[in-house]
Amino acid sequence: MLDYLQQQLREREAQALTRVRRQAGTPTAPRQTIDGRPMLAFCSNDYLGLAQHPKVVAALQEGARRYGAGSGASHLISGHSVAHQQLEDRLADLNAPCIPGARALSFSTGYMANLAAVTALGGEGTDVFSERLNHACLIDGARLARGRKQVFASVDELADQLRTSTAPRKLIATDAVFSMDGHLAPLAELLALAERHDALLLVDDAHGFGVLGPQGRGSLAHLGLRSERLVLMGTLGKAAGVAGAFVAAHPVVVEWLIQTARSYIFTTAAPPALAHALLASLDLIAGEEGERRRAQLELLQAQLVDGLQPWVQARGWQLPRSDTPIQPLVVGDNQDALDLAARLDAAGIRVPAIRPPTVAPGTARLRITLCADHTADDVQALVAALTACP
């Protein structure tokens, strides 16, 4: 076994696929100490810069004083705290405009929330339709689910699959914002198909929540969608700056998850202090400070695209249109992506190179992510360093 694993690791190395972890010695922020070096970072999903916001940090401390460090048990035993309930009530209110009568359920991570939703709703007798570019945890949920799985690459393909499905129940699952591309799924079309074929539509809004829509309520609000068929998964460790996730849905769906979802039932509840900190974070997201930070992100996005476009086109690379602070620079070749990242690294700028299997073969890229705490000078520094590459 050890020889086999060593051999497999060598093969990955030969294909420039080895991943390394760097150690951050400071809070996540545009200026961060990574492996002991001060770096200008364009790599976190803390889009609004709330992970080290003084109000969120103070609420985390206050939450720890009030509730202690850990929850002590799973939600169904004794780990469900007042803070968890307050968080769920707030998230239910936030999502009620898009999901009438919504109830919300909090999870420790988005990975576990998606596993819960897909396995609990995709049981025996349910066909699960999964978008090709879905995040790994939706894919893993579909693998674990007892229902039949089908993968779709377009709205038309999904329509065909739904038409020929004879399953009594149907679940469609999609990312709202594709995490390696930054573009939005055609959610209105997918919802129309869900309505026509009596299906539920599970939407993973990991990268839209906090960033898109009125008051940062996310992709559904951004597109003005409203339906009882929507099941929304949002993460709270990205734009919300803390940790965890939620599922918001019709109350019957949420009750079903509480009663049957194994990745909800058989795990210790997240520390209540995190839920307490999230209440402060949600206030910021919905308030004036959130508006200001979202406006700054839009300015930075436009500046980055304008600055890079001529250079990118001259090399035959691509800067696909993105609706979000995720700005991919698609170069194709694994080694080209690594070389660019290494050059930036030498210039004190951290941008991750993303390679297969995270993205499709031949579409290796730099995944640039912007944060509201970046300045115009920061973006200019990135553009200058990239366009100086031979």
Ligand X SMILES: *Cc1c(COP(=O)(O)O)cnc(C)c1O
Binding residues: 19, 110-111, 135, 179, 207, 235, 358
For residues 185 and 176, the answer to whether their CB atoms sit within 8 Å is yes
Length of the chain: 390
Please state the closest distance from residue 238 (CB atom) to ligand X, in A: 6
Helix (H, G, I), strand (E, B) or coil at 175: strand
Q: Which residues pair with 23 in a beta bridge?
A: none
With CB under 6 A as the contact rule, the residue among 208, 237, 241, 352 that binds ligand X is 237
Q: Order across the sheet with 326-332: list the strands.
A: 326-332, 364-369, 353-354
For 170, the token pair is 């149907």
Q: Is 245 in the site for ligand X (CB under 6 A)?
A: yes
Please state the closest distance from residue 111 (CB atom) to ligand X, in A: 4
Residue of closest CB approach to ligand X: 110
On the 0-12 / 13-18 / 19+ scale of CB atoms within 10 A, 65 is exposed
For ligand X, the closer of residues 30 and 244 by Cβ is 244
322 is catalytic: no
For 315, the token pair is 């090399």
What are the phi and psi torsion angles at 33 (to 5°)?
-85, 115
207 is catalytic: yes
Please state the closest distance from residue 124 (CB atom) to ligand X, in A: 25
With CB under 6 A as the contact rule, the residue among 206, 349, 351, 372 that binds ligand X is 206
For ligand X, the closer of residues 53 and 135 by Cβ is 135
Residue type, 81: S
Q: Is 161 in the site for ligand X (CB under 6 A)?
A: no
Q: Which of residues 94-113 bind ligand X (CB under 6 A)?
A: 109-111
For ligand X, the closer of residues 126 and 235 by Cβ is 235
| CA atoms of 35 and 22, how far apart (whole Å) | 6
| CA atoms of 212 and 209, how far apart (whole Å) | 6
For ligand X, the closer of residues 110 and 216 by Cβ is 110
110-121 vs 136-144: helix axis angle to the nearest 10? Answer: 30
Instruction: Count residues binding ligand X (CB under 6 A).
Output: 14
For ligand X, the closer of residues 67 and 246 by Cβ is 246
Q: Is 323 in the site for ligand X (CB under 6 A)?
A: no
DSSP strand E in 139-288: where?
A: 148-152, 169-175, 200-204, 230-235, 245-249
What are the phi and psi torsion angles at 41 (to 5°)?
-105, 135
| CA atoms of 187 and 182, how far apart (whole Å) | 14
Containing H/E element for 107? strand 103-107
For ligand X, the closer of residues 108 and 126 by Cβ is 108
Please state the closest distance from residue 296 (CB atom) to ligand X, in A: 22
Please state the closest distance from residue 175 (CB atom) to ligand X, in A: 5
Q: Is 44 in the site for ligand X (CB under 6 A)?
A: no
With CB under 6 A as the contact rule, the residue among 235, 296, 301, 303 that binds ligand X is 235
Q: Is 137 in the site for ligand X (CB under 6 A)?
A: yes
What are the phi and psi torsion angles at 327 (to 5°)?
-125, 95
With CB under 6 A as the contact rule, the residue among 179, 263, 281, 327 that binds ligand X is 179
Catalytic residues: 179, 207, 238
Q: Which residues sit at the interface with ligand X, rule CB under 6 A?
A: 109-111, 114, 135, 137, 175, 179, 204, 206-207, 235, 237, 245
